[in-house]
A and B are shown apart, each in its own frame.
Chain A
Amino acid sequence: MLPLHISASSGVPVYLQLEHQIKQAVASGLLQPGDPLPSTRRTAADLRINPNTVARAFQNLEREGVIRTVPGGGTFIASLNGLQSGLLKTEKLRRLRPIAEQLVVEASQLRVPSADLHKLLDAALIALENSRRTRTPESSGEDQ
């Protein structure tokens, strides 16, 4: 089972929620390259969402190189070295900019000084690195 969950009340489009959660599972090492994903309809039925929405999320993830589809053979997590390394640095930064802007706005509203914000970011990076390290040795999670 994928650790996916949908919040209908968040206002964030469901396909974006899916994309984000799968990216997060890959970034944290919960999903490893080569891990199979359940089919579009299976995922949709498990989450009680529209199959076209899942298909849209999977298509976007495939375009970004996060997953790959083998015709007639299912969908898998793509290998990490192929992932995103092909993107230009400017494009990578362009994708991150809105999230950075949002973070800065929230921080200024909470009156968090710049130094603390940098520390927070460093801590999050370290936490992600650690979770990746603890997961890597074990075999990839089984899907039912």
Chain B
Amino acid sequence: MTTYAIQTENLVKTYGHGRSATHAINGLSLNVPEGSIYGLLGRNSAGKSTTIRMAMGLARPSSGTMRVFGLNPAVDPERVTVLNQVGFVPEDKALIGSSPRKIFELNRSFYPSTWSDSLARKLIARLELPLDKAWAALSLGNKTKAALICAIAQRSRLLILDEPTTGLDPVVLDELLRILVEDCTAPIANDQPRTILLSSHQLAEIEQIADHIGIMDRGRLLLEGPLDEIRARFLRVTVTGENLPRISPSILSVKREPHATQYVLQHNPELFLSDLRSQGATVAETMPLSLNEIFLELCRTHDHAEDTVDFGAAR
């Protein structure tokens, strides 16, 4: 039985009233399995941060449910139980304190049973964070590092990182990936699995360390599941032949060129290709898609499906 660190059902978050209302989240059903590294992907204002804020009890759902470890983070006392088990890096990296050292001292007092000084020291050295520089004088990258160290040294059961790579240079980014795998996935107490949820635009990095992903657009989920399964479902193929199909549940997009037709398949590619072959078509080339390509294709197709009504949307 899979248990979930975060689960939402038909989650809706609306800002404003009447005609000027904005649906930031519009019927989101998200499942973040315990023990996973889950990459939450989406364009700007897709609703990633709003979702994360509701998981942290910083915003209240308009309707639907948000559960973290089965608890409702919007109401006390459940909120306290949730927050005790979650390390959080907010999108704006805003922390309270005059220097990183003061911030760590404050944070440490909130989590006396789980906070690790030795881990904090290791992270400070690895990420090369100046400890006593005034907070206001820190670069964006250094603020991000401080926020990450705060959350990671807390050694929580769930780590929620909203855009954790903001301002980081490639060397520090690489070090962060190592830290996440090495120090944030091993069980601490009673073999309890630990979960990481991260939202990011750095698709290549997500593709490396995530095992589950969810792709959001306009407050809804376009795709969710184990990354390996998603990769196996998508395929770019070049086909030649007569009367090639235009519409099928397998097709995400079609591009006709003078000599051949290029499909992006999103479902059961092998079956689709064997059908084509049996109808006399020739499959000239098949290419797997990277996560970046899957993301671009999905967002483009989704745009298209919403803008024009007559196109036989594949969804």
Question: For the complex, what is the distance from the CA of A65 to the CA of B228, rounded to whole Å?
Answer: 23
Contacts of A14 in B (CB 8 A): 208
Contacts of A11 in B (CB 8 A): 231, 287-290
CB distance from B295 to the nearest CB of A (A): 14
Question: For the complex, what is the distance from the CA of A51 to the CA of B289, rounded to whole Å?
Answer: 22
Name the one of A6, A8, A13, A51 contacting B228, with C-beta atoms under 8 angstroms.
A13
Q: With A8-B207, A41-B185 in contact, is A48–B174 under 8 Å at CB?
A: yes
CB distance from A108 to the nearest CB of B (A): 12
CB distance from B207 to the nearest CB of A (A): 5
- Label chain A's interface by main secondary structure: helix
A58 beta carbon closer than 8 Å to chain B: no
CB distance from A57 to the nearest CB of B (A): 11
Name the one of B174, B211, B231 contacting A50, with C-beta atoms under 8 angstroms.
B211
Interface contact B182-A41, CB-CB below 8 Å: yes
Contact mask for chain B residues 286-315; partner A; CB cutoff 8 A; 1 contact, 0 none: 011110000000000000000000000000
Name the one of A15, A41, A48, A52 contacting B177, with C-beta atoms under 8 angstroms.
A48
How many residues of chain B have a CB within 8 Å of chain A? Answer: 23
Contacts of B37 in A (CB 8 A): 50
B209 beta carbon closer than 8 Å to chain A: yes
> 21 interchain pairs (CB within 8 A)?
A6-B208, A8-B204, A8-B290, A11-B231, A11-B289, A11-B290, A12-B288, A13-B228, A44-B181, A44-B182, A45-B181, A45-B182, A48-B174, A48-B178, A48-B208, A50-B181, A50-B209, A51-B185, A52-B36, A53-B211, A56-B228
Q: A14-B208, A49-B181 are in contact. List 12 more A-B contacts (CB 8 A).
A: A8-B207, A9-B204, A9-B290, A11-B287, A12-B288, A13-B231, A44-B182, A44-B185, A45-B182, A49-B208, A50-B181, A53-B211
**8 cross-chain pairs, A with B, having the tightest CB-CB distances, nearest first:** A11-B288, A45-B182, A48-B177, A50-B211, A45-B181, A52-B211, A44-B181, A45-B178
